[in-house]
Amino acid sequence: MTLEQTLKQSTAAIFKEEFGADVPLDSVTLNITKKEHEGDYTIVVFSLTKISKQSPEQTAELLGNKLKEKSGIVAKYNVIKGFLNLSLTDAYWLNRLKEISENKAYGTFAANHKKVVLEYCGPNTNKPLHIGHVRNMLLGFSMSEILKAAGYDVTKVNIYNDRGINISKSMVAYLRYGNNSTPQSTGIKGDHFVGDWYVKFNEVSKEELKNIPNAPADHDEAQKLTPIFKEAQEMLLKWEAHDAETVALWKKMNGWVYEGFKQTFNLLGADFQKDYFESETYLLGKDIVEEGLQKNVFKKRPDGAVIVDLTPDGLDEKVLLRSDGTSVYITQDLATAQLRHEDFNMEKMIYVVANEQDYHFKVLKLALQKLGKKWADGIYHLSYALVESPTGRFKSREGKTADADDLISEVLRIAEEKTKELGKIEGFTEVEANTLYKTIGLGALKYFVLRVNPYKKIIFNPEESIDFHGHTGPFIQYTHARIKAILRKGAITDLAGFKNLPSLGDVERELIIHLSEYENTVYAAAEKYDPSEIANYVYSLAKLYNKFYHEFPILNAATEDEKKFRVALSNETGVTLKKAMKLLGIEVPEKM
RNA sequence: GACCCGGUAGCUCAGCUGGAUAGAGCAACAGUUUUCUAAACUGUCGGUCACUGGUUCGAAUCCAGUCCGGGUCACCA
């Protein structure tokens, strides 16, 4: 039983005994005591005065007194208005620290045998990954780590938008101007290589547009009139007709893209157990639409289009099948969802997709629920906001700053520069030094992105480099390295062997309390689908430790028991920092 | 027009299942190292929690309305 439960249940039991009333555990508010007051945990008794029929002060006084008497872990208490501040005994906290240290799996929950499929990344194959994909991948990966820690059985999948007019554009431009060049022959990373041909396509169509009189103002509409666009359309038709040459070119170019993506995935640590390709699913979904018609939850309009009426749910009518009988975007998503259900029979299906598609996923879930698919209740759209520059949305034509690979290499370069400036790599081999730059640079980037709540947009100013001081990844990494230095010098094996301690210092106590909150944090992050919970937790832990480090001598402690205790506390902080950072996909160095 | 999401210090963000005097980092300024890693620590400065009203013993937090910013409402994906 957790401390929280213990205190709440004791409170309920006392109220039952004193007033004969049942107090639901949820109605007891229990918080960590604010710094400016004495105590570890605070019970807010205002809501309980209805039962006690006494003043807040009297109620708190009574409850405090009884808790001290009966719980065995409350050392003292004080009452300020309706706030009952409880100080637990040092013995409780020391025991708690031992308990945590001895539990190797602290912070991971027992397997619940619930299957989760988590889709993330979802790139188009006609252009390289950009900063939005970076946020997506970091969120997706971290979320899967958090859910695993919470006991779920997670399978990560990716979906490639590998077909359609966009890749056809790259193909046409390459055919026209490529001269059989390759990523190898040009030394350009595969996804960038193909992306460059996409850019070339747009340049050419712009040129061609100059020769077209009375072109519409709308750029997309105008482009459709250009010869090169028409070639792309023909290309797409040929692809759909399985023309051998076209398919071969498509495969070749997508192959280059996948090679390129793979490098970026490796750098960021993204991985997938299964890949889905839109080219294999874009025709699917007609069965499921037919099923809906038979169940009378979808309707066929006079013009032949099939729709689902979501007006009772506050949404609109949505077309699920075109009047010519072909699929739309949502059609294949319905089918893909069904397919995944058959593949995995999962409890939850999480889609990590930008918030532009909030509406789409509402429709998807509702449509499946209307079909009577129970498993659709487990669909969750992990929606995240865009990454923007201070002047607004990153446009692809702003190129450089929004490109994922450029962003990564920039942050690695800064990490190297700063590390060298600080003279941190004395005694490192070149390999070790390079590993360190990577650890720190990626740590800075990942933390920068993950510390922000997913539904809030991130403002990223490419003019100012990502920070390495303060509330950042490197700060936490540094704290870990610092702890490791202590442990190397401390050389204490019997970590839990301290006894006969004088009373705990405030910061020592706060540190143990904070460590004790780790499992709650993991649980909350999983419940809320929010890695920023972990990010903020781990920062405050590191901050607290640094305060402790400055205030208390560790290896030079006055007594051997104090030294052992402080080393043990340091060790456990280091272990927890590492575990928490791992949930964010961030490595933590031994030295830096 | 309808719906969704945001608006907290100069900047970037916590806090939002209602609780005490709203917290961090950055920036600025002033300090801390003959002692365990100064990517650290301590202090100063900085707030009409967008606005108005409501609910409540108590509102940054809940409700209603207004304003600002973004998004969506395709037989595009």
| Spatial distance between the Cα atoms of A356 and A384, rounded to a whole number of angstroms | 9
Cα separation of A374 and A390, whole Å? Answer: 44
**A170 and A269 fall within a common domain:** yes
Residue at which a domain ends, from A66, A88, A110: A88
Q: Is the CB of A538 under 7 A from strand B?
A: no
User: Do A8 and A75 belong together in one domain?
Assistant: yes
- CATH number of the domain that residue A482 is part of: 1.10.730.10
Look at residue A401 in the predicted model and tell me its pLDDT.
64
Residue A190 lies in a domain: yes
Domain end: A243, A273, A303, which one? A273
- One domain, residues A125 and A32: no
Does residue A233 lie within 7 Å of nucleic acid chain B, judged by its CB?
Answer: no
Q: For residue A307, give every residue at least 6 positions away whose Cβ sits within 8 Å of its Cβ, in sequence order, or none.
A: A298, A299, A300, A301, A317, A318, A319, A320
* Residue A274, CB, strand B, below 7 Å: no
Q: Is A368 (CB) below 7 Å from strand B?
A: no
Which stretches in chain A have pLDDT values below 70?
395-401, 493-497, 500
Distance, angstroms, CA A80 to C1' B20? 8
Residue A43 lies in a domain: yes
Q: Can you give the pLDDT at residue A308?
A: 94
Q: Which nucleotide is nearest to A567 (CA to C1')?
A: B36
Taking the CA of residue A1 and the C1' sugar atom of nucleotide B60, their distance in angstroms comes to 33
Which region, left, alpha or beta, applies to residue A326 given φ > 0 means left and ψ of -120 to 50 means alpha? beta
Q: Which candidate, A209, A181, A185, A212, places its Cα nearest to that of A197?
A: A181
Give A108-119 as a DSSP string. Answer: -PPP---EEEEE
Cβ proximity of A209 and A222 under 8 Å: yes
Nucleic acid strand B within 7 Å of A351 CB: no
A319 domain residue, yes or no = no
Tens digits of per-residue pLDDT, A320-376? 999 998 889 999 999 999 999 999 999 999 999 999 999 999 999 999 999 999 999
A78 touches strand B (CB under 7 A): no
Check residues 84 to 113 of chain A and report those whose beta carbon is under 7 Å from nucleic acid strand B.
Answer: 85
Distance A556 CA to B28 C1' (A): 37
Chain B bases under 7 Å from protein CB? 3-7, 11-15, 19-21, 24-27, 35-42, 57-58, 70-77
Domain count, chain A: 3
Contacts of A337 (CB under 8 A, 6+ apart): A349, A364, A368, A376, A379
A239 shares a domain with A182? yes
Q: Are residues A48 and A168 in the same domain?
A: no
- List, as own/partner pairs, every contact residues A54-60 make where C-beta atoms lie below 8 angstroms and the sequence separation is at least 24, other chains included: A56/A81, A56/A82, A57/A81, A57/A82, A60/A84
Query: Would the Cβ of A46 be found within 7 angstroms of any atom in strand B?
Result: yes
Q: How far is the CA of A581 from the C1' of B77 (A)?
A: 35
**Both A41 and A141 in a single domain?**
no
A360 touches strand B (CB under 7 A): yes
Tell if A219 CB is < 7 Å from nucleic strand B: no
> What distance in Å separates the CA atoms of residue A229 and residue A212, rounded to the nearest whole number?
13
Same domain, A241 and A128: yes
Partnered with residue A504 across adjacent β-strands are none
Neighbours of A240 (CB within 10 A): 14
Nucleotide nearest to A460 (CA to C1'): B12
Nearest nucleotide (C1') to alpha carbon of A548? B41
- Cα A548 to Cα A514: distance, rounded to the nearest angstrom: 13
In a domain, A56, yes or no: yes
User: CA–C1' distance A89–B71 (Å)?
Assistant: 52
Q: Which structural domain range is residue A12 located in?
A: 3-88
Number of H helices, E strands in chain A: 22, 15
CATH value at residue A21:
3.30.1360.70
Among residues A224, A256, A273, the one where a domain terminates is A273
Are A123 and A133 within 8 A, CB to CB? yes
Residues A267, A168 share a domain: yes
pLDDT given for residue A397 in this prediction: 54
C1' of B19 to CA of A87 (Å): 19
Is A303 (CB) below 7 Å from strand B? yes
Q: Are A351 and A361 in contact (CB under 8 A)?
A: yes
**Which nucleotide in the DNA or RNA is closest to residue A489, CA to C1'?**
B36
ipTM of the predicted structure? 0.96
* Residue A523 located in a structural domain: yes
Residue A493 has a pLDDT of 67
End-to-end CA distance of chain A: 39
pLDDT at residue A254 in the model? 97
Residues A574 and A488 in one domain: yes
Residue A35 forms part of a structural domain: yes
Task: Tell me, yes or no, whether A132 and A238 share the same domain.
Answer: yes
Distance between alpha carbon A223 and the CA centroid of its chain, in Å?
38
| Distant-in-sequence, close-in-space partners of A503: CB < 8 Å, separation ≥ 6 | A90
In a domain, residue A390? The reply is no
Protein residue closest to B21, using CA and C1': A36
Strand partners, A350: A118, A380
pLDDT of res. A68: 93
CATH number of the domain that residue A197 is part of: 3.40.50.620
> Does residue A83 lie within 7 Å of nucleic acid chain B, judged by its CB?
yes
Q: Which tens digit of pLDDT belongs to each residue from A299-327?
A: 999 999 999 999 888 888 999 999 998 88
Across all strands, nucleotide nearest A459 (CA–C1'): B12
